[in-house]
Structure 1
Amino acid sequence: MLYYLFQYLDEQFNLPGAGLFQYISFRAGMAAVVSLLIGMTFGERIINYLRRQQIGETIRELGLQGQTEKKGTPTMGGLIILAAILIPVLLFTRLTNVYIVLLLITTVFAGLIGFADDYIKVFLKNKEGLKGRFKIVGQVTLGIIVGTTLYFNEYVVVRDYDDKVTTENVMLATRQGKFEDVKSTKTTIPFVKNNEFDYADIWPVANDAFLWVLYVGVVTFIITAVSNGANITDGLDGLAAGTSAVIGVTLAVLAYVSGNVLTAKYLNIMYIPHTGELTIFCLAFVGACIGFLWYNSYPAQVFMGDTGSLMLGALISVIAVAIRKELLIPVLCGVFLVENLSVMIQVSYFKYTKKKYGEGRRIFLMSPLHHHFQKKGIHEVKIVNRFLIVQVLLALFTVISLKIR
């Protein structure tokens, strides 16, 4: 909204400083600051409201150190993150940008799925929460919305440059209209020299309907996997919010270089028009996570609940798909991946050994993986710090991958 206001003031009255709002870097910085301030300023009020409504976490007795102290801690704190993302995005982004609209829909939609789960747990006293099949239906619906929009929308395009075009003259060539934006289902393959892959190449003779189903299926799988990974990771104070903040910074870098014609050409990566605006969303996302950490760091005054964790995972996945870096998710979201795999391995091995030997056996002391380390007597603060260090290394490796081919 402010973008359009200051654009008008700049054009009509030549107001000093109004032109700053034309720069993505300025608006992204402002979005991060405002998001952080919203989380820190209004977070306490929301926590007090949740406490008055007796919206406290129900803790299952798992024999973990410090577990009993967390009983009754307000949950559904994802509402803090939701507000801290939406307000600055509405203020500082171009709301006509298809990617921003798509992420706003994702924020609200995924937040509602998580809110329904938390509501059933807290108010209806059903520890199981929203049944798994309904969560899957919601995630599949979101996947269809995102995949269909990215597949059909006319503004979702890529621009390929001939090798003869240099970084110095790429802007001139663009202004002269020498290159045409084209619809494509291309994505980026990390660590490969010719690092572009088109989903259409899976079956070259397939029609548009098949390719649409394939693309939507891939998008839905990614959204489901990452959102569930973030949900599983949300088990220690500050873990999910901290790792998400690091991932958000990385996505901001990737969105900026992918949406800037000069940096994209310099790095020899796919240029995706209009995605530069996602930098603003990513930094609002980061500010929201850090602002939430103000209250969620050990000892946590509030938990994000599924309202926050499912939303964070969904946003990460949609941003990665939008900038065509979804194949980097196993690296960038390595913490989520390992947490997810630890649960799958534990459950599968338990069922296998129970069927074979008559009793279930475990690989980990407890899953997800962070609980395994808790069972080994490591304090949760040290576990969270070490996981964050690993996440920072993964984020750095993800950025470096732009040049590793």
Structure 2
Amino acid sequence: MIYHLVEWLGFPGPLNVIRYLTFRAGAATLTALFLALLIGPGVIAWLRTKQGKGQPIREDGPASHLITKKGTPTMGGLLILICMTVSTLLWMEWDLPFVWAVLFVTLGFGTIGFLDDYAKVTRRSSAGLSGRVRLLLEFVIAGTAVWFISRQTGTMLYVPFLKDSGLELGPLYVAFGAFVIVGAANAVNLTDGLDGLAIMPVIIAAATFGVIGYLVGNYNFADYLGVHFVRGSGELILVCGAIIGAGLGFLWFNAPPAAVFMGDTGSLAIGGAIGTLAVVTNHELVLVVVGGLFVVEALSVIIQVASFRMTGKRVFRMAPIHHHFEQKGWSESTIVIRFWIIAIVLALAGLATLKLR
């Protein structure tokens, strides 16, 4: 909106900087952050009033959570979605198809998460929507987005460490891309179990894919790095900036002890956004590295369930794996900060794949 207004004015004087995508990405970050800090207290107060007793706490989770987290309102992801969306719409060019694709998935998954959270709050139960219904809706939204994206980026799956080469998936690419997005969304959802645990790795991943998108969207950089050039992917730096700003604003209120939880409203939305960023940039496999923390969290649940069903024994004291460390006596802040450090290391490793070809 602001870009087109200034364009209509002819980019006069110092407003000429709005031409530049990197400037608008920075502006989107700050806008989302300040908006979150501005409206956050009001949103949290409204959620607390509407929810009364707050988010229902899982009875099969850590016993301490029944005391320390009881009464905390959920659906704080609404704060992230509002700030991210408003900031993006303010600073984007309206003819940027990839930004619209990310917004479509983010808001679509956010809606599914909201319905799930609403069901939990109204039923006073930790069980929300049916798992099958939720997955079906997620795959429909993700599949639609991947179909749209693939019409512009192709259906090739590019392999890290190999110079501009990959596997042509054809029609199967839509299913593969949808799996990446749905998997990312649910992995972030599983990670969101401690105050501040999920949001910072998401911010780190968004920053990483913002850099990747900018580089692969510039022909000279892509040619130098030996990666596949994706025309228009540079625009993703703007929506990544909005995710970072909104995420930092949310973290202000989600820092221990959390005043609000993001709930499925937030975790599914931002997880889906990260997955979509990976699909647009043709770096789906690099997401496994950059989002390695989320992968481990999801795998810990899969391993725990499979082991218990097959042998009757548990591999971890409790899953997802962050609860395992809680049961071992690690404090919540220790787990969160150490997981943040791991997320940073994995993000750097993911960026390193750009040059190791």
In which range does the TM-score fall when normalised by the shorter chain?
over 0.9
Confirm whether residue 189 of structure 1 aligns to residue 163 of structure 2. no
Matched, 1:107 2:106: yes
Residue 401 of structure 1 pairs with residue 345 of structure 2: no
Write the distance in 2 (CA, Å) between the matches of 1:291 and 1:344: 32
For 1:335, give the aligned amino acid. Answer: L
Cα offset, 1:22, TM superposition: 1.1
CA drift at 1:66: 5.0
Distance 1:188 1:384 in 2: 33
Counterpart position of 2:50: 53
Q: Deviations over 1:330-382 (max 9, x none)?
A: 111101100000000001000111xxxxxx21110000000000000100100
Mapped to 2, the partners of 1:186 and 1:94 lie a distance apart of: 27
Answer whether contact 1:31 1:88 (CA < 8 A) is retained.
Answer: yes
In the TM superposition, residue 187 of structure 1 has moved relative to its aligned partner by 3.6
Q: Which amino acid aligns with 1:366?
A: M
State which structure, 1 or 2, has the greater radius of gyration over its C-alpha atoms.
1
Alignment partner, residue 384 of structure 1 = 336
Partner of 1:327: 285
Who is 1:117 aligned against? 116
Give the alignment's TM-score, normalised by structure 2: 0.96
User: How many aligned positions are there?
Assistant: 355
* Cα distance in 2 for residues equivalent to 1:325 and 1:63: 36
Amino acid at match of 1:9: L
Separation in 1 of the partners of 2:256 and 2:125?
A: 27
Q: Are 1:347 and 2:317 counterparts?
A: no
**Do 2:190 and 2:298's aligned partners in 1 also have CA atoms closer than 8 Å?**
yes
Listed one character per residue, the Cα deviations across residues 262-295 of structure 1 (whole Å, up to 9, x for unaligned) are 2222222222111111100011111111110000
8 A Cα contact 2:116 2:128, kept in partner: yes
**Secondary structure at 1:217's aligned position in 2?**
helix
Cα distance in 2 between the residues matched to 1:146 and 1:66? 37
Which of residues 6, 17, 32 in structure 1 aligns to 2:14? Answer: 17
Q: Match of 2:240?
A: 282
Q: Does 1:251 align with 2:204?
A: no
Give secondary structure in 1 for the equivalent of 2:313.
coil
**Cα shift at 1:67:** 4.1
Say if 1:9 and 1:18, in contact at 8 Å, map to a contact too.
no
Q: For the structure 1 residues 196 and 92, does the alpha-carbon distance in structure 2 shift closer, same or farther, using more than 3 Å as the test?
A: same
Would you say 1:304 and 2:262 are equivalent positions? Answer: yes
* Partner in structure 2 of residue 199 of structure 1: 168
Q: 1:36 aligns with which of 24, 33, 39?
A: 33
Please tell me the residue identity of whatever aligns with 2:251: L
Q: SS of the residue aligned with 2:123?
A: coil
Matched, 1:362 2:332: no
CA distance in 2, matches of 1:60, 1:143: 29
Give unpaired runs (5+ residues) of structure 2. Answer: none
Segments of 5+ residues of structure 1 without an aligned counterpart are 158-183, 201-210, 354-359
Query: Which has a greater percent of helix?
Result: 2
The aligned runs of 1:128-207 (5 Å cut-off) are 128-152=127-151, 156-157=152-153, 184-192=154-162, 194-200=163-169
Give the conservation status (yes or no) of the 8 Å contact 1:64–1:375: no
- Residue 4 of structure 1 corresponds to which residue in structure 2? 4
Residue 237, structure 1, aligned to residue 237, structure 2: no
Q: Secondary structure at the match of 2:178?
A: helix
Residue by residue over 1:217-268, the C-alpha shift from the partner in whole angstroms, topping out at 9 and shown as x without a partner, is 1011111211110000000000110110111110111011011222222222
Kindly indicate whether the alpha-carbon contact (under 8 Å) linking 2:159 and 2:165 is maintained by their aligned counterparts in 1: yes
Distance in structure 1 (CA, Å) of the matches to 2:44 and 2:133: 28
Q: For residues 319 and 187 of structure 1, what CA distance do their matches in structure 2 show?
A: 14
Indicate if the aligned counterparts of 1:94 and 1:100 stay in contact, CA closer than 8 A.
Answer: no
Paired residue type of 2:85: L
CA RMSD of aligned residues (A): 1.3
Alpha carbons of structure 1 residues 309 and 19: separation in structure 2 relative to 1, 3 Å: same
1:124: how far off?
3.0
Q: Answer yes or no: is 1:371 the counterpart of 2:340.
A: no
Is the partner of 2:35 in helix, strand or coil? helix
Residue range with higher mean Cα deviation, 132-141 or 117-126:
117-126
TM-aligned CA distance change 1:66 to 1:185, over 3 Å: closer
* CA distances 1:87-138 after superposition (whole Å, capped 9, x unpaired): 1100111121111111121121111000000000002334310100111111
Instruction: Give the letter aligned to residue 280 of structure 2.
Output: A
Distance 1:63 1:185, change over 3 A: closer
Contact 2:146 2:279 in 1 (8 A): no
Aligned residue runs from structure 1 range 59-70, under 5 A: 59-61=57-59, 62-65=61-64, 67-70=66-69
Q: How far is the alpha carbon of 1:143 from its aligned partner?
A: 2.1
Cα distance, 1:54 vs structure 2:
2.4
AA aligned to 2:134 is K
Q: Quick check: 1:74–1:302 contact (8 Å CA) kept in 2?
A: yes
User: Following TM superposition, where does structure 1 have runs of at least 4 consecutive aligned residues deviating by more than 3 angstroms?
Assistant: 61-67
Q: How far apart, CA to CA, are the structure 1 residues paired with 2:351 and 2:313?
A: 40
Amino acid at match of 1:112: T
Per-residue CA distance 1:186-234 (angstroms, 9 max, x = gap): 3431122x3421424xxxxxxxxxx32x111101111121111000000
Matching residue of 1:79: 78
